[in-house]
Amino acid sequence: MKKIIFITFLVFLLAACAASPQAGQPTLLSATTIPNVDMGSPQPTTKASDDLFGKMGIKLPVPACNGTFTAAQTEGPYYTANTPERNSLLEEGMQGKKLVVIGYVLAKNCQPLANVWIDFWQADSNGSYDNAGYTLRGHQYTDAQGRYLLETVYPGEYPGRTQHIHVKIQPSGGAMLTTQLYFPDSASNLSDGIFDPTLIVTLENRGDITLAYFNFVLNN
Ligand code: FE
């Protein structure tokens, strides 16, 4: 009997060793811990945004380009890497007016780019950033049609800054664009030295939510 128990223990031990990564071997990261994209990074196989557009009844207009690229902007002091992957930054009890930011990520030839990494971060409705955790921070990937969709709330102003949402965008193997999005109805736009009118979203009111359209055009 003791011999059978000992053999069983040995079999389990060997199985556990075989399943554990060995020193020097790469281990797969989960999708939520991928800080960036490169040609070798594992990519998510499903995109939440594939369903969200249909569920929300959102149809994006055919993308148009005017030969200019989306302007780069300063990262600012509040970026945190390794954000969770998610299309919605909404959380239980979060204050603020709901906002859905949507659009395409386009190449310089105006073709939509699928599977582009996009990282968003912003202040809450009172103008405060969560610099300890990941509230109002998250990355996602454009879907097969090159679209992104971000559920969030309107960011509040903080001293010296008008309302804005920070963005980092990087196609697989391509250069990273860091920029910010602005709102057409913010009174503080003109007193903000960083504000760029080419980065204003187009708003559409849909009752309890507001859609904010913006297409990013990369110099890729
Ligand atoms: Fe900021």
Q: Which residues are 210's β-sheet partners?
A: 99, 205
Contact 87, 48 (CB under 8 A): yes
Give me ligand 1 centre to Cα 166, in Å.
6
Q: Does domain 43-217 have CATH number 2.60.130.10?
A: yes
Would you say 85 and 111 are in contact if contact means Cβ atoms under 8 Å apart? Answer: no
d(CA 91, CA 53): 20
pLDDT band at 68 (very low <50, low <70, confident <90, very high): very high
The confidence score (pLDDT) of residue 48 equals: 52
Cα–Cα distance measured from residue 190 to residue 96, given in angstroms and rounded to the nearest whole number: 23
Q: Write out the residues surrounding ion ligand 1, Cβ under 5 A.
A: 76
Mean pLDDT check: name the lowest of 26-30, 109-113, 193-197: 26-30
The CA 76 to ligand 1 mean position distance, Å, reads: 6
Q: From CA 179, how far away is CA 102, in angstroms rounded? A: 16
Structural contact between residues 69 and 105, judged by C-beta atoms closer than 8 angstroms: no
pLDDT digits (tens, 9 = 90+) for 26-49: 333 233 333 333 333 444 444 555
Are the beta carbons of 137 and 121 closer than 8 angstroms? yes
* 79 Cα to the center of ligand 1, angstroms: 9
3-state helix, strand, coil in the chain (%, to 5): 15, 25, 60
Rounded to the nearest integer, the mean pLDDT of the chain is 83
Q: What number of CA atoms fall less than 13 Å from residue 47's CA on the CB side?
A: 23
Distance 78 CA to ligand 1 centre (A): 7
Selection from 167, 166, 165, 190 nearest residue 96 by Cα:
165
The whole-number pLDDT of residue 207 equals: 86
Return the domain boundaries, the chain: 43-217
Asked whether 166 and 117 are in contact (CB, 8 A), the reply is no
Q: Are 97 and 208 in contact (CB under 8 A)?
A: no
The pair of structure tokens assigned to 102 is 């949507």
d(CA 174, CA 157): 32
